[in-house]
Copies of this chain bind each other. A is one copy, B any other.
């Protein structure tokens, strides 16, 4: 990708999170000519980027992205930013929201990239609980724009940039305006129906927790293995396909008709097959995705509390049976000896307790309860 380096002062971006995604985004935006601030919780990361003056990126995007401000001070990071882009593990979103809240200003856009399941709803609820009286629009995508990896603070590689990325705002009647702004940098971003659609389009919740459990012995073996190619065996793929139907049933109860994960593989990767187990093997991007060697990764620790747990909570509220999701959550909790439900997103933390489906739909559209 040739980056058109041009001065672009219209939009100031604040990137919250200096990991793989945050550094890649910061460098990419800076190379497009946008003023960029970068925040991370770790002084070590920020110090390295500050010393270097920015982030060196290679791969699908090449060049040195000058970072205007690298800081561990969140007030400084968000001050004057038009778009505050949160690129951090979903388990950190709540904490980021609490710490951002006092420093936000009218008209700012929070863009959670990606929101996992319920990111925008949770952020909105925290702002309410923190008595934030500013007019803030919270948006989210369902996935990260890049496949990327930072080798060290200040140096990152973008392997691939997605051709399409769904974004929705809360309220949904702001989505058009938000997407138009985002399109100044990222023309591939398009509007989803509302943040329930982005939240329920979380592919990680389908492809990570259940297969991880069913691969426990391989994970704890001495062998190298490929997460998708070795890990999504016929029975495991079939289980995920059945669980995926539960996800689509939850979506349908909100009036959302969404593609299955199998259909999504065809759309996103051109991987056309009868079963998920076959589809992943037709996706060459997966040829080198190695399997983990411990159960304690974000495939369990993030994708359950921030993916399956909110889906189960929504399913229960709607009266939609989600037995596979529930069983995976239970089994994972018992296997790793950790409560992933209490720390996870539920109707309560999403701010949806006591609301009917119609009330939720109206709230998603207008932001009014």
Residues of chain B lying within 8 A (CB to CB) of residue A234: 220
A266 within 8 A of B: no
Residues of chain B lying within 8 A (CB to CB) of residue A331: 327-328, 331
A320 within 8 A of B: no
Within 225-255 of A, Cβ neighbours of B (below 8 Å) are at: 230-231, 233-236, 238-239, 242
Are B323 and A334 closer than 8 Å at their CB atoms?
Answer: yes
Least distance between A214 CB and chain B CB atoms (Å)? 4
Q: A215, A218, A328: which has the most chain B beta carbons within 10 Å?
A: A218
If A214-B217, A216-B236, A236-B216 touch, whether A334 touches B330 (CB-CB below 8 Å) is no
Bound-complex Cα distance A80 to B87 (A): 79
A258 within 8 A of B: no
If A221-B230, A235-B336 touch, whether A327 touches B330 (CB-CB below 8 Å) is yes
Least distance between A333 CB and chain B CB atoms (Å)? 9
CB-CB nearest in chain B for A324: B334
If A327-B327, A331-B327 touch, whether A217 touches B239 (CB-CB below 8 Å) is no
Are B233 and A221 closer than 8 Å at their CB atoms?
Answer: yes
A335 within 8 A of B: yes
A213 within 8 A of B: yes
Residues of chain B lying within 8 A (CB to CB) of residue A216: 214-215, 233, 235-236
Q: Which residues of A contact B (CB under 8 A)?
A: 211, 213-221, 230-231, 233-236, 238-239, 242, 295, 323-324, 327-328, 330-331, 334-337
Task: Show 28 residue pairs from A and B whose CB-CB distance is below 8 angstroms, ordered by the A residue.
Answer: A213-B213, A213-B214, A214-B214, A214-B216, A214-B217, A214-B335, A215-B216, A215-B217, A216-B235, A216-B236, A217-B233, A218-B218, A218-B221, A219-B233, A220-B234, A221-B233, A235-B295, A235-B336, A239-B334, A323-B330, A324-B334, A327-B327, A327-B330, A327-B331, A327-B334, A328-B331, A330-B330, A331-B331
